């Protein structure tokens, strides 16, 4: 199977640069696998496709304001640091630009000394391991000094950091938002729960690898990035109870999907677990947990459009994307939603 099989032509003006003021007012394309029908709705209409006993699974990770601008101590040279993964309390793996200005032993100052980092080592791939020094609470300092690490296709400055967080974000750790969840409001969640639909939380800390292009022409040669997940016992029980009693499992986003498929056995039982997943879902994959998927529109030739194609079939998925382009939906992180129904 070729990467080019998942290409579609996207006009640049359809890439959403800013979030809508009302989260739930985003458009939503509803695609039904059984009938191959496509319906144009708005996100708040999702209630009409849910029924009592169903279960929605959300990813409650919280995006860190992980982009820091600093200067090299001694020279004043500007250095940008992007936090990738926490290795210990004060030690992080980071991406540094320009890398030649951050050698082991160098120190970087942020916010006129409110935060300082020492470069400990350069690791495979060119990333650095750094150790921070500071007075106070690291997360509070990061909230003050850091910027949201928006995807490279978003060129506008984000005025409100909270618009790149879901309303249910809880656990710090992501370098990118689980964007399918950005459409929910607290009011919509309450209305859904009042219908008898259960909401289960999982956590998957989204890495920047989610934006990494597939460079191999044969998709089987692509190496997936690794991301850390947690599924608690009580949340697994909520999902298993819904499945046992005939409810459908709606994954909110590809991150929730990858988490669920990483912790579900061949009998369809979700297990509490934590760890790292590199699961790569592409056509031919048999889903064990997910029945329906809510997601945004993804980049051409990405692993995310391959995941959707595994659930809905490649031909129908590409038809949905062609329809979305024709109807001028808003694409990518701040764009519109798609609800994929299989049953």
Residue among 253, 341, 336, 251 nearest 297 (CA):
336
Reported in sequence order, the residue ranges of the chain that DSSP labels E, i.e. its strands, are 27-32, 38-42, 55-59, 61-63, 67-72, 78-86, 91-97, 107-110, 115-122, 128-134, 171-174, 198-204, 227-231, 249-252, 273-277, 292-296, 337-341
Other Cβ atoms within 10 Å of 188 Cβ, number? 17
**Range with the lowest mean pLDDT among 96-100, 227-231, 283-287?**
96-100
What is the helix (H) or strand (E) element at residue 104, kind and residue range?
none
What average pLDDT does this structure show over 75-94? 92
pLDDT band of residue 152 (cuts 50, 70, 90) is confident
Q: Is the pLDDT of residue 164 over 80?
A: yes
Q: Is the pLDDT of residue 107 over 90?
A: yes
pLDDT band of residue 339 (cuts 50, 70, 90) is very high
Q: Is the pLDDT of residue 210 over 80?
A: no
Given this model, what pLDDT does residue 149 score? 86
Given this model, what pLDDT does residue 159 score? 84
Given this model, what pLDDT does residue 318 score? 98
Q: Is the pLDDT of residue 64 over 80?
A: yes
Mean per-residue pLDDT over the chain, rounded:
95
What average pLDDT does this structure show over 131-155? 92
Q: Is the pLDDT of residue 13 over 90?
A: yes
Other Cβ atoms within 10 Å of 227 Cβ, number? 24
pTM of the model: 0.90
Given this model, what pLDDT does residue 101 score? 82
Tell which wins on pLDDT, 189 or 88. Answer: 189
- DSSP conformational letter for 4: G
Given this model, what pLDDT does residue 23 score? 97
* Cβ-based neighbours of 243, under 8 Å, separated by 6 or more: 55, 249, 268, 270, 289
Q: Is the pLDDT of residue 26 over 80?
A: yes
Asked whether the beta carbons of 92 and 66 are under 8 A apart, the reply is no
Whole-number Å distance between alpha carbons of 185 and 61:
16
Q: What percent of the chain is predicted at pLDDT more than 70?
A: 100
Given this model, what pLDDT does residue 213 score? 82
Whole-number Å distance between alpha carbons of 4 and 149:
28
pLDDT tens, 213-249? 899 999 999 989 889 999 999 999 999 999 999 999 9
Helix-, strand-, coil-residue percentages of the chain, each rounded to 5: 30, 30, 40
Q: What percent of the chain is predicted at pLDDT more than 90?
A: 87
Start-to-end CA span in the chain (Å): 27
Q: Is the pLDDT of residue 143 over 80?
A: yes
pLDDT tens, 168-201? 999 998 989 999 999 999 999 999 999 999 999 9
pLDDT tens, 241-278? 999 999 999 999 999 999 999 999 999 999 999 999 99
Residue among 176, 201, 189, 131 nearest 299 (CA):
176
Given this model, what pLDDT does residue 276 score? 94
């Amino acid at each position: 199977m070729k990467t080019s099989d998942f290409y579609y032509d996207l006009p640049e003006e359809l890439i959403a640069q800013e979030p809508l003021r009302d989260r739930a007012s985003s458009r939503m394309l509803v695609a039904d696998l059984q009938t191959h029908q496509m319906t144009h709705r708005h996100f708040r209409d999702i209630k009409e496709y849910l029924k009592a006993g169903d279960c929605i699974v959300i990813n409650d990770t919280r995006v860190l304001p992980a982009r820091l601008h600093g200067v090299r101590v001694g020279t004043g040279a500007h250095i940008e640091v992007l936090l990738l993964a926490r290795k210990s309390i004060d030690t992080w793996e980071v991406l540094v630009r320009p890398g030649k200005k951050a050698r082991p032993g160098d120190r970087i100052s942020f916010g006129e000394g409110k935060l300082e980092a020492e470069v400990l080592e350069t690791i495979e791939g060119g990333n650095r391991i750094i150790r921070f020094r500071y007075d106070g609470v690291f997360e509070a300092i990061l909230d003050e000094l850091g910027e949201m690490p928006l995807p490279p296709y978003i060129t506008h400055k984000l005025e409100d950091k909270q618009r790149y967080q879901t309303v249910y974000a809880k656990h710090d750790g992501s370098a990118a938002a689980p964007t399918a969840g950005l459409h929910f409001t607290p009011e919509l969640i309450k209305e859904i729960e009042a219908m008898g639909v259960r909401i289960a939380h999982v956590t998957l800390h989204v890495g920047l690898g989610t934006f990494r292009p597939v460079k191999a022409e044969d998709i089987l040669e692509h190496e997936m990035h690794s991301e850390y997940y947690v599924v608690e016992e009580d949340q697994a029980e909520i999902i298993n109870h819904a499945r046992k009693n005939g409810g459908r499992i709606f994954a909110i986003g590809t991150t929730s999907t990858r988490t669920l498929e990483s912790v579900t056995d061949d009998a369809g039982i979700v297990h509490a677990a934590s760890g790292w997943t590199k699961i790569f879902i592409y056509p031919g994959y048999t889903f064990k947990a997910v029945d329906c998927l809510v997601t945004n529109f993804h980049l051409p030739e990405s692993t995310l459009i391959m995941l959707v194609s595994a659930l809905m079939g490649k031909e129908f998925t590409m038809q949905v994307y062609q329809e979305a382009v024709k109807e001028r939906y808003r694409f990518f992180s701040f764009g519109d939603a798609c609800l994929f129904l299989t049953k």
